[in-house]
Amino acid sequence: MTTFLGMPAPRGVGHLRGDEPFPAAAHKALANDQLRRNLRHATTTIREKSGKVIAELPDWQELRAAGSAIKTDTMARLPELLEQLESGVVAAGGVVHWAADANEANQIVTDLVAATGSPRVIKIKSMATQEIGLNEALEAAGIQPVETDLAELIVQLGNDQPSHILVPAIHRNRTEIRDIFLREMPGVDPGLTDDPAVLAAAARRYLRETFLSTTVAVSGANFGIAETGTLAVVESEGNGRMCLTLPDTLITVMGIEKVLPTWRDLEVFLQLLPRASTGERMNPYTSMWTGVTPGDGPQNFHLVLLDNGRTNVLADEVGRSALHCIRCSACLNVCPVYERTGGHAYGSVYPGPIGAVLSPQLTGVEDNASLPYASSLCGACFDACPVRIDIPEILVHLRNQAPHPRTERAAMRAASYTMDHPRLYEAAQHAAKLARLGGPFVKGWTAARDLPAPPPESFRDWWAKR
């Protein structure tokens, strides 16, 4: 088999491309008052909680700088670190598979599950498996995937798509969740109320039975340690630990950018991630495993290393820092655009500011050309990012790569020519027509803004008088 690196994520599989451009999807989302209320409440709450625990650390900025430096170093020697990780996993009894894209990854996982004979898998919340559309691939092969993270379960039962990296059902309120459970959850109490504790207990009852009767689990990974071959998953509910310890077979799908050089590096990220994401001082559950331990936990372990456009991102000197992302979702929670439109408008499993720079790079900018414009460039995402990804810089970089309409290119060429020729520029100003002449070319711009009227006197005229 030949593996091609540096290719965009393939079309027709996975969840990186929406059905319509961002402006059209956002327009619909903005009409949904309930969605906006839910989003405002949730993002404000997380923001406040996170701000308090970050303020407790006097060295937060140094930690951010350390996180950024470790990621930069990792990306600079990614091939050697991945091979080191592979050696560590294999030495500890695991099997490593390399997947160039979503199709290959889905095939590998589906074949592995089919070989066990299990009709069902339990899943830990994982952005990588959502990105490649693994659930759909498993279902097509007659295998039932069951999401065990509460919010992911709500999304799955509601036949819905996640709208936030960390809180996938952020667009749902508790009444909607009760209705979904009543409609879709096997064996649920028909008298179910919308009390959060009652809803959580119903999910727990359903999931416990599923945990105890399923022999294969699929997870993602927050980090992979090259030095030791160790994988790490951090989570809040404990469902992940059940998946990582109870089944006979564990299959982990990890994006290649999740590798870290050493065990010691993990210390930095275990401080940055919980404070920036859930506003906790540490993750309630941090699970780590290295290959297979005889008599303890899954006895078959497979690691699938996923490219799916990542080496394409790595090849771009400006855009590659998007691969530093640790999926904390802090940039979503501070983004004025995300807070109003929600995640579905981005058309990708990666919404918000990070989605606006990561999705177009994974797919090729042509396939997500409107996303780099889904930002006011206010810079709040950069300030919030625990690994200091300069998202506004990448947004501008990608806007330059995105295809521009012919009228816009013609207007820019005309403006450039005019400004290069002082007499022509002066004449244009005198005619006070420059702005108005531009009117037809900037229809999109003027749909939501006023085109400023030309001043009564230009600077040149004012200067000439003196």
Question: Which spans of this chain sit near ligand SF4 (rule: CB under 6 A)?
Answer: 325-331, 354, 384-387, 389
Residue type, 244: L
Q: Which is nearer to ligand SF4, 162 or 386 (CB)?
A: 386
Contact, 385 vs 330, CB < 8 A? yes
Nearer to ligand SF4, 161 or 245 (CB): 161
Provide the minimum distance between the beta carbon of 149 and ligand SF4 in the complex, in angstroms, as a whole number: 17
Kindly state the smallest distance separating residue 352's Cβ from ligand SF4, in Å: 7
**In the bound complex, what is the minimum distance in angstroms from residue 319's beta carbon to ligand SF4?**
13
> Judged by CB, which is closer to ligand SF4: 135, or 329?
329
What amino acid is encoded at 63 in this protein? L
CB of 90 vs ligand SF4, minimal distance in Å: 30
Residue 263 CA to residue 286 CA, distance in Å, equals 14
Least distance in Å: CB of 203 to ligand SF4?
A: 26
Q: Cβ closer to ligand SF4: 330 or 362?
A: 330
Q: Quote the CA–CA distance of 332 and 358 in Å, as a whole number.
A: 13
CA distance 149 to 146: 9
Least distance to ligand SF4, CB of residue 190, Å = 40
The token pair at 146 is 């069951």
Q: Which residue, 29 or 330, has its beta carbon nearer to ligand SF4? A: 330
- Separation CA 90–CA 232 (nearest Å): 16
Q: Choose between 387 and 398: whose C-beta lies nearer to ligand SF4.
A: 387
Q: Which of residues 247 and 347 has its CB atom nearest to ligand SF4 in the complex? A: 347
Q: In what order do the strands lie in the sheet with 144-147?
A: 95-99, 300-306, 249-255, 216-219, 120-123, 144-147
The two three-digit tokens of residue 130, written as one number: 């959502």
Closest contact distance (angstroms) between CB of 216 and ligand SF4 is 29
**How far apart are CB 310 and ligand SF4 at their closest, in Å?**
14
DSSP label of 296: B
Phi-psi region of 297 (alpha: psi -120 to 50; beta: other; left: phi over 0): left
d(CA 250, CA 302) in angstroms, rounded, equals 6
Under 8 Å between Cβ of 394 and 357: yes
Nearest residue (CB) to ligand SF4, 97 versus 388:
388
Give whichever of 218 and 330 is closer to ligand SF4, judged by the CB atom: 330
C-alpha to C-alpha distances, 71 to 59, 79, 81, 387, nearest whole angstrom: 18, 14, 12, 8
Coil, strand or helix at 140: helix
**Per-residue exposure over 385-416, b if at least 16 CB sit within 10 Å of its own CB, e if not:** bbbbbbbbbbbebbbebeeeeeeeeebeeebe
> Which residues, at least 6 apart from 129, have a Cβ–Cβ distance to it below 8 Å?
123, 135, 218, 220, 253
Which value, to the nearest 10 degrees, does the dihedral of the CA atoms of residues 126, 132, 134, 135 take? 80
Pick 303 or 328: Cβ nearer ligand SF4: 328
CB of 127 to ligand SF4, least distance (A): 10
Measured from the CB of residue 362, what is the shortest distance to ligand SF4 in angstroms?
14
